[in-house]
Amino acid sequence: MTIAKPIVAVVPFGARGRDERAGAVGRQLARRLVDRFAGSPDVELRPVFLVAMGETKAEAGYLIFGSTPDAALAASYGRSLGTTHALTGLYHDEEPGRALTLTLVSVADDRPVAERELAIAPGRLPDVEGDLAEWLGGALGVTAPAGPPPAANETAYQALLDGLDEEVNATLLRSGEPAAERSARSRAFAAFAAALRADHEATAAEERILVLAAESIERGDEERAARALEDVVEVRPTSWRVNYLLGQLRIQIGETSGAIVALEHANALRPLGGEDLVVLAELYLAADAPGQAASHLRRVGAESGAYGRAQELLG
């Protein structure tokens, strides 16, 4: 007999804390949990979106907020998403210490089937993701995805969660509040950059800042993204992706010399393909440096789709 795999509706966790950053921790711990289980063959996690609209123009247009519903309401969220369970949580950041209280609810009969309080020692916030995933996997009888903490220290992890929260706000504000959306994107860029400064190997923060930068090309906001990546490249100089995307952004805003520098750095880390070599050569030609242009054009192989253009430029 085949038993269907469990499907869990994850409600953004509520928070009680000393400042508004506690809310970001609660909401984004839930989001990180969903991301952590993505692709698992044994269980599926589906996020619940609880969205509020500001009542006045002085307030943010939209906000994903955390919640701690009772079992019946949590189960109703699960039914609306077609899940077998619902997970709720409450992040405490108050005396005498920090903790995450969790409740797993059966959607079929509106009752809790597992509860847990995870104590969070000073400096150990980055470990909560793994502890949470392990507890949920055990409660469901499945194997939790393994992996190292997403940041090496709490400063970097808190900045990562702050950035994720601002990124969500920017997405929600996109259609109706363009000025507020730009402000939220700027705060997200700054938070992810802060995470990388605190932990140079925080790949989760690098991934998100690259996504934001790529989206900026679509929105005509390349200069803001380029300035953000310039901060990142200082702490991640060996990241091919950061150097390459910075080069593309500088091309878009007309910074020829800066684009050459970034693309040369990317090329040194990992050889560019034929089309990118032609782009780099054209930048050198625009900068009146035909010798460097020719050097790159000669490296474009006959199998490349850019070979014809390379030969044309070589004359």
Tell me: the pLDDT tens digits for 7-60?
Answer: 999 999 999 988 888 999 999 999 999 999 998 999 999 999 876 544 444 444
Q: Please give the pLDDT value at position 52.
A: 56
Domain boundaries, the chain: 7-140, 154-270
What is the chain's Cα-based Rg?
24
3-class SS at 53? strand
Quote the Cα angle for 292-294-298, to 5°: 125
Superfamily of domain 7-140 in the CATH hierarchy: TolB, N-terminal domain (3.40.50.10070)
Q: Please give the pLDDT value at position 59.
A: 45
CA distance 131 to 152: 16
Q: Please give the pLDDT value at position 219.
A: 83
CA distance 215 to 202: 21
CATH of 154-270, one of 2.60.40.1180, 3.30.160.270, 1.25.40.10, 3.30.43.10: 1.25.40.10
Q: Please give the pLDDT value at position 305.
A: 95
Q: Do domains 7-140 and 154-270 have the same CATH topology?
A: no
Q: Place 309 in a pLDDT band, splitting at 50, 70 and 90.
A: very high
- For the whole model, what pTM was predicted? 0.86
**CA distances to 102, 148, 264 from 168, in Å:** 23, 24, 34
CA distance 196 to 233: 10
Q: Please give the pLDDT value at position 191.
A: 96
**pLDDT per residue over 252-288, tens digit each?**
999 999 999 999 999 999 999 999 999 999 999 999 9
Kindly report the average pLDDT of the chain as a whole number.
91
